[in-house]
Amino acid sequence: MNVESNVPSPAHRVRVLRLLALPVLAWATLTSHCFAEAVTERRGSLVIIGGGERPGRIHHRFIALAGGTNHARIAVLPMASGEPERSGRLQAEEFRGFGVKDVDVVRFDRSQAMLPATAERLMGYTGVFFTGGDQARLAAVLVGTPCEAALHRMRDTRGAVIGGTSAGAAIMSRVMITGDQRGEPDRKADFAVVRRGATLTSTGLGLVTNAIVDQHFIARRRQNRLVGVTLEHPELIGVGIDEATALVVLPDGSWEVEGDGSVMVFDARGVKVRQEGPHANLGAKGVGFHLLLPGDRWDPTAGR
């Protein structure tokens, strides 16, 4: 048998390869398009809780966004707490009490947060929850690390939900209120002034890109400090979340209130901010104000 007699000519082979390439190219184009759509459609949510007691419906909302009790894989990050082992254990037990089968307490220090393997481990979860405590502790571990980048990828492309309470809420914004006040040591508790630089800020995770988050808001009368920080950063919306209340940031960027309390919004976008006197007192006219109640939904991109 002459084997070569069954081999197509070079011209024939080119024609066949071209014909075969058409459906392959079409499939590749379609797959690429569908993948891009899937990434866009899988943007996740944020559940930002103002602290205090949390109504069950806030937990249910977080769990549902993480995939439901049977499919959620939740990582509890307790590093803000002064007692992280106890705080993490209690939070994990709370999620298990609501029926979640797969909950881990995940603790690491900054050196571990710099490791790609730690970031990769985080990427395996459908939900991440920060406990309360001191937001500066949590920021010291996470900000500027591969783990911070992983949190953004989880939310932006994997559909994961990221939530936190108290300190775990404050760290959500890039401009992070630390809880400390400059120049008024005898009045630290009440933040009685609205002055430039009076409220100390640091760098948070930036999961909320258009706002500054404050927590325990109405219960601890923190309106003055949020107004001051908002006027220092008028391009950002000041959002104060009360206890037993959550601000849910949906994939489309709109905000929804869950829980028992309210969310207070100060919007100085486009407003001229004035600074007067030797103490750098701040003032402005036309600042927008909203008081959002449970069930309310607001689009911060729609303007004041």
Per the annotation, the verdict on 262 as an active-site residue is: no
Q: Give the pLDDT confidence of 261-301 residue by residue, as tens digits.
A: 999 999 999 999 998 888 788 999 999 999 999 999 999 98
Q: Measure the CA angle with vertex 296, ends 291 and 300; round to 5°.
A: 70
Of the listed 166, 233, 256, 258, which one is catalytic?
166
Name which of 38-47, 171-180, 292-301 the model is least confident about: 38-47
Per the annotation, the verdict on 216 as an active-site residue is: yes
Of the listed 94, 184, 202, 254, which one is catalytic?
184
Say if CB 171 and CB 204 are below 8 A apart.
Answer: yes
Q: How far apart are the first and last CA of the chain?
A: 84
| pTM assigned to the model | 0.83
Domains for the chain: give ranges and CATH numbers.
45-297 (3.40.50.880)
Say if CB 133 and CB 87 are below 8 A apart.
Answer: yes
* Interval 222-241 mean pLDDT: 95
Of the listed 216, 233, 243, 256, which one is catalytic?
216
Nearest to 265 by CA among 281, 250, 247, 283: 247
> According to the model, what pLDDT value does residue 30 have?
38
Nearest to 129 by CA among 164, 178, 81: 164
The pLDDT confidence band at residue 195, using thresholds 50, 70 and 90, is confident
Per the annotation, the verdict on 243 as an active-site residue is: no
